[in-house]
Amino acid sequence: MKYFVRYKLKSQWFWRTIKNVTGDASFISGDKDHLPYRVFFLEDHSRVELPMEGTQFKFGPGRHFTILKNMEKESGQRMALGE
């Protein structure tokens, strides 16, 4: 399942969109010289890395369903939508 992510860096005026996202993760280094960042995995097996500090993210509704499907696959049970 794919979804989109909109983001805006603190130095930018406009929102940008990343399409065909199949997953994402956050990485926080223990090294104080490296800032935390978020990685987006794309359908073509490439990835986009963005700093988390000062960046706003908006996730498309498909992200919720992607997480739900992954939870169902791992647990072997059907998950409720959480209405």
* Model pLDDT, residue 81: 66
- d(CA 53, CA 41) in angstroms, rounded, equals 19
pLDDT of residue 72: 86
**Which residue blocks in 1-83 are alpha helix, DSSP H?**
62-75
**Residue 66: what pLDDT?**
83
Tens-digit pLDDT profile for the chain (83 aa)? 899 999 999 989 999 999 999 999 998 877 767 789 999 999 999 999 999 999 999 999 888 888 888 888 888 888 776 55
pLDDT of residue 82: 59
Maximal C-alpha separation, the chain: 44
In DSSP terms, 52 is beta-bridged to none
Q: How many Å apart are CA 83 and CA 79, to the nearest integer?
A: 12
The reported pLDDT for the residue numbered 56 is 96
